[in-house]
Amino acid sequence: MPPEATLLDLATGSGRNALFFSARGHRVTAVDIDLSRLPAAENVERIEADLENGTPWPLAGRRFGAATVTNYLHRPLMPDLLAAIEPGGVLLYETFMAGNERFGKPSNPAFLLKDGELLDLVRGKFSVIAYEARLISAPTMAMVQRIAARRSP
């Protein structure tokens, strides 16, 4: 990611990714329904928004050099998320997938990626840099999918 690139951290939670990139000089937009766990940090724009209540996408018309999403899945947001990444920008996405129900929550299929779903999501729009669909053992046992993909110019 170029140093001047801005980052969208969607469903930021406590802001692990937002703080990581902010500490490296990137401007970051952190979005979550509750930002009380996100410490104040330089270069971090905070947007408190309920992404699932049917209100319009809070970042309409904005573009980012990269976007991160971790442990969050709300499929209706996918078109807006992908559209927010500028040409040449990077998507870093990791969340739970089918099979995770064996290890606890989330176990609802609405919150679990289907096999290959992240690959299908970016096909034709992004070049895949790396992809995994696997069982992890840390921090706890879970089935996850991860993708790093660059938006086509």
> Which pLDDT score, from 0 to 100, does residue 42 have?
87
Instruction: Select the CATH number that applies to the domain covering 7-151 from these four: 3.40.50.150, 2.40.50.140, 1.20.200.10, 3.40.50.1100.
Output: 3.40.50.150
Centroid of chain to Cα 35:
16
- Tokens read off for 30: 């952190």
Residues of the chain with pLDDT under 70: none
Count CB-CB contacts under 10 A for residue 62.
13
> Which pLDDT score, from 0 to 100, does residue 3 have?
76
Q: For residue 67, give every residue at least 6 positions away whose Cβ sits within 8 Å of its Cβ, in sequence order, or none.
A: 7, 8, 9, 10, 81, 84, 85, 89, 90, 91, 92, 93
User: Mapping DSSP to helix (H, G, I), strand (E, B) and coil, where does residue 16 land?
Assistant: helix
Q: For residue 91, give every residue at least 6 positions away whose Cβ sits within 8 Å of its Cβ, in sequence order, or none.
A: 66, 67, 81, 82, 85, 122, 126, 147, 148, 149, 150, 151
